[in-house]
Every structure is written in C-alpha cells, then in structure tokens.
Structure 1
Amino acid sequence: MLMSNTDRPARLHYMANGFRVLSPGDHVVCAVSGERLALEDLRYWSVAAQQPYATAEIATAAMSPGR
C-alpha cells in the first residue's frame, strides 16, 4: 500500500543553499510561530539551528544575538 505525504510533516536537513528531505511530507512547522509551511513555500531556515522559519522577520529575530 502506498503512503500519502499529504498532511504529514517532512523532516529536513537544512543546508546553505537548500535542504534535503530526510522523511517525506508536505510541510514543516515554523520553529518560532508554529505556523505550518508548505515545502514549496519554505524560504527561511537556520543551518546552525536546523530550524525553519515562516518569514524573514521571524528568521532575523530568531538568529539575532542576545535572543
């Protein structure tokens, strides 16, 4: 039986210029806001923290010193 990736979170390895899918799925969850992000809409992540972010503003705040 084939499994569908619909409504299943993906597990990713974040790299400087992209990401590699470790476990298939159709979305990830923003590490700060908890917002669900479709993989095709994912634009911001931290390579060091291995976390996805929903927006540039959230990513900038999350990676700012002193946070």
Structure 2
Amino acid sequence: MNKINQYEPLINYDDLTKEFSKYFKSRPWITEYKKTEELENKIKKFLGVKHCFMVSNGTISLSLA
C-alpha cells in the first residue's frame, strides 16, 4: 500500500540535536524538566484550565484521574 504524506515535516536537525544534548546533560526526570513545565503552562493556557500534569505513563494518569 502506498502512502501519501499530507505534509513534509520541517525539522532543523541541528537545533534538535542541541536541545536533546542539553536535555540529557542536565540528567532530569522527564516530568521534572523545565521544558516540561513550560509545556504544561502552554497546555493550561490553551485549554483555559487551572491544572495540568505531565506524567510518564498511562497507569499514573489513570491513578490521578
């Protein structure tokens, strides 16, 4: 089956590599990283809600629900 892409992603691999490098050098837990907090804040603002929590798996999300 042939696939037709709706769009081609624009990825600047140099920037992506730099960001991943900074992330892994800081050795954070994925849910305790500054960028995670920034994403949570953007999601809260977008949805117009007071709380947003990023979790590492579905089991934790179901426990919080």
Instruction: Give the alignment's TM-score, normalised by structure 1.
Output: 0.21
From the two aligned structures, give the one with the greater helix fraction.
2
Question: Which of the pair has more CA radius of gyration?
Answer: 2
From the two aligned structures, give the one with the greater strand fraction.
1
Instruction: Give the alignment's TM-score, normalised by structure 2.
Output: 0.21
